[in-house]
Amino acid sequence: MPLPARLVYHTDDPYAVCLSLGEPAKSVTWVFARDLLAEGMRRAAGAGAVLVFPRHRCLPDTMRIVLRSPADAALLEIPASLVTAFLHDTYALVAPGAEGTHIDLDGCLARLAGPNG
């Protein structure tokens, strides 16, 4: 059945992508590695909660993402052309391999240390 879905990328978390499913007021968001999404465009990738599968010869412009939790699982079919365009846009913001230059390590350490750190 069709389900509203949205891929989102934030430069303040440059290694990750967010996949939100459902209507905005009741959406569920999965966060996983941008590299996992990119690798899944070429070959089956992932383990555990998120698996990504490339185009299948029967559905040449469709890729699949499997989301699993201890209680359930969902198989999503997404147009591969949209995922390719999304990844291209993320690479324009943060090039592959340059993610580390977009992380505020001092800020991260301060948040981990807490208010008394």
pLDDT at 108: 67
Question: What is the arithmetic mean of pLDDT over 58-63?
Answer: 86
Question: What is the arithmetic mean of pLDDT over 32-44?
Answer: 94
Residue 53 · residue 47 · CB < 8 Å: no
pTM exceeds cut of 0.85 = no
Residue 45 · residue 33 · CB < 8 Å: no
- Under the banding of pLDDT at 50, 70 and 90, the label for residue 117 is low
- Under the banding of pLDDT at 50, 70 and 90, the label for residue 85 is very high
* Residue 21: closest CA among 69, 60, 57, 59: 69
- Please state, in angstroms and rounded to a whole number, the distance separating the CA atoms of residues 12 and 19: 16
Which residues lie across from 74 on neighbouring strands? 67
- Please state, in angstroms and rounded to a whole number, the distance separating the CA atoms of residues 85 and 9: 12
Residue 13 · residue 32 · CB < 8 Å: no
- Under the banding of pLDDT at 50, 70 and 90, the label for residue 114 is confident
- Under the banding of pLDDT at 50, 70 and 90, the label for residue 68 is very high
Phi, psi of 5 (to 5 degrees): -140, 150
pLDDT at 55: 81
Per-residue pLDDT for 113 more than 80? yes
pLDDT at 109: 73
Phi, psi of 72 (to 5 degrees): -160, 175
